[in-house]
Amino acid sequence: MEKVWLKRYPATVPAEIDLGAYRSLVEVFEQSCQRFAARNAFVNMGYGMSYAELEQKSRAFAAYLQQDLGLEKGERVAIMLPNLLQYPVALFGVLRAGLVVVNVNPLYTPRELEHQLQDSGAKVILILANFAHVLAEVIGRTTVRQAIITEIGDLLPFWKAKVVNLVVRHVKKMVPDYSLPGAIGFNDALTLGGRRKLQPVAVEAEDLAFLQYTGGTTGLSKGAMLTHRNMLANMQQISVWVGSAIRDGEEIVVTALPLYHIFCLTVNCLCFIHHGGLNLLITNPRDIPLFVSEIRSWKFTVITGVNTLFNALVNNEKFNQLDFGSLRLSVGGGAAVQKVVAERWQALTGTPILEGYGLTEAAPVLCVNPVDIAGFTGSVGLPVPSTEIELRDEEGHEVAPGERGELCARGPQVMRGYWNRPEETARTLRDGWLLTGDVATVDEQGFFRIVDRKKDMILVSGFNVFPNEIEDVVIACEGVLEVACVGVPDEKSGEAVKVFVVLKPGVELSAEAILAHCRKNLTAYKMPRAVEFRDSLPKSNVGKILRRELR
């Protein structure tokens, strides 16, 4: 496809990025820590961590992993944390030791956690104490040989840390009992690492940086292999795209989406570390009143989110009273931004939401609206620099202009493949092209619009939910004969999970019993919100259940 979108690029955006500018994410991080040493890099719960402190603590963690645990270049370390100061310390510590980050959703059930740890071969896991009981159930069936436990307040000033951890554990009782013999505390690991000298590791662009797990059509999540080059490329692509709207060493970014999610990891963390930005970490964005109180005293300049977050904020009275005079950039991703939400947001804040499109396999950004748009476009924007996009039919041929086709992309941000999944990789990557499974159209200026999903993926608040996984769980419920899972519209989450169930003859089973079974095996966002019983399910002539008819 001819790159017609280049004619619509803002004058400050180049057609290509310089892939040789950096050798690794470690190089970018260390340069920023030196350049912006005195500036805060992250703030959480009212406490700020400077670039200099982040450098020191991440170095100590890297040395602990390297010297005390004896981990060698390329081995995997799982991080199972919400947005806390511990996350960036661990993230850059793992990378500086030449290791690979395995991001884990803290809300995983034991089944989900066991699969990801075992599949990745992670040797170490850093986990919040609140979720340690989940790890305790499965650690013996994984490759993990060292658990590192942290509590919410561990990196706050001494007395504040004591109070926060006391309240969380004993007043709010948010830390269930667990037994993990041999586990070490995060602060103890930092103390040990602080006594060691980190041995230099030659981290190169083609080395793996992340195993970023995403749902699979088989029902099991699979790890997208993202190299330092993949992440650097997307960081640079986003950086030059918004370059005219940001200023080095001055940005204050509201980071409400979890850093373990690829969107926030690349856009908020890596991009703004590169520019010396300050990330305001929101640990629990679902508590909107607390969220608003945490940001109200800051003259924030950038905010990222999903449609449901923007919608919740514009409907909050106290958020409506904030001063948005400093806000220059609002970015939406993870799920489609609704027109009414975008218009209300712009009317309130004075900035349009720059909607983008991407996937885990592309680190993640492929397209985004330019910074010079006047308002909501209804599109996911233009391809970012150094990115090719084609729309293809079922036979793999490029479709005519204006026609629908599967969006296929090629660029330096596209993953190496799936970890230990050669067949899945072959289905998704062909001749360097990523077959996204999403159906789109493109207009004469090069603006792409996603019109359908070829796959049956369901997007719940920006998180991918795959029907096969839900069906595998429901069918395991005693008395269920057949099940089909689809996504249905939902005002709060964009989409919600609905299951259609056929019971075995003579069996009586309530919807609540099915949901209770699901709660034991599924993360909250994957939970069905509705159960409909049927006598039969629509099928094709070969017996395949037709989800599209149920939808």
Among 121-135, 230-244, 459-473, which stretch is predicted with the lowest mean pLDDT?
A: 459-473
Q: Mean of the per-residue pLDDT values for the chain?
A: 94
Specify if 276 maps to a domain: no
* pLDDT tens profile 74-112: 999 999 999 999 999 999 999 999 999 999 999 899 999
Specify if 327 maps to a domain: no
Three-class SS string for 307-371? HHHHHHHHCCHHHHCCCCCCCCEEEECCCCCCHHHHHHHHHHHCCCEEEEEECHHHCCEEEECCC
pTM for the complete prediction? 0.88
Q: Are 60 and 93 in contact (CB under 8 A)?
A: yes
Interstrand relation of 208-214 and 458-460 (parallel, antiparallel or unpaired): unpaired
Number of H helices and E strands in the chain, helices first, is 18, 27
Specify if 264 maps to a domain: no
Among 18-22, 56-60, 138-142, 400-404, which stretch is predicted with the lowest mean pLDDT?
A: 400-404
Specify if 153 maps to a domain: yes
Specify if 250 maps to a domain: no
Q: Which of 203, 218, 246 is the last residue of a domain?
A: 203
Q: What is the CA radius of gyration of the chain?
A: 23
Q: Are 453 and 446 in contact (CB under 8 A)?
A: no
Query: Which residue in 33, 105, 21, 19 sits closest to 62, CA to CA?
Result: 33
Range of the domain at 128: 50-203
């077959």: which residue's tokens? 435
DSSP classification of residue 352:
-
CATH number of the domain bearing residue 536: 3.30.300.30
Specify if 415 maps to a domain: no
Specify the pLDDT at position 147.
98
Sheet holding 494-503, edge to edge: 480-490, 494-503, 528-533
Phi, psi of 158 (to 5 degrees): -45, -60
Q: Which of 203, 232, 264 is the last residue of a domain?
A: 203
Specify if 263 maps to a domain: no
Q: Which of 181, 203, 225 is the last residue of a domain?
A: 203
pLDDT band at 449 (very low <50, low <70, confident <90, very high): very high
Orientation of helix 25-35 relative to helix 228-241, angle to 10°: 50
H/E segment holding residue 92: helix 86-96
| Number of structural domains in the chain | 2
**Please, which residues bridge with residue 433 across strands?**
430
* pLDDT tens profile 511-539: 999 999 999 999 999 999 999 999 998 87
CATH number of the domain bearing residue 78: 3.40.50.980
Specify if 282 maps to a domain: no
Specify the pLDDT at position 216.
46
Q: Are 148 and 169 in contact (CB under 8 A)?
A: no
Specify the pLDDT at position 425.
97
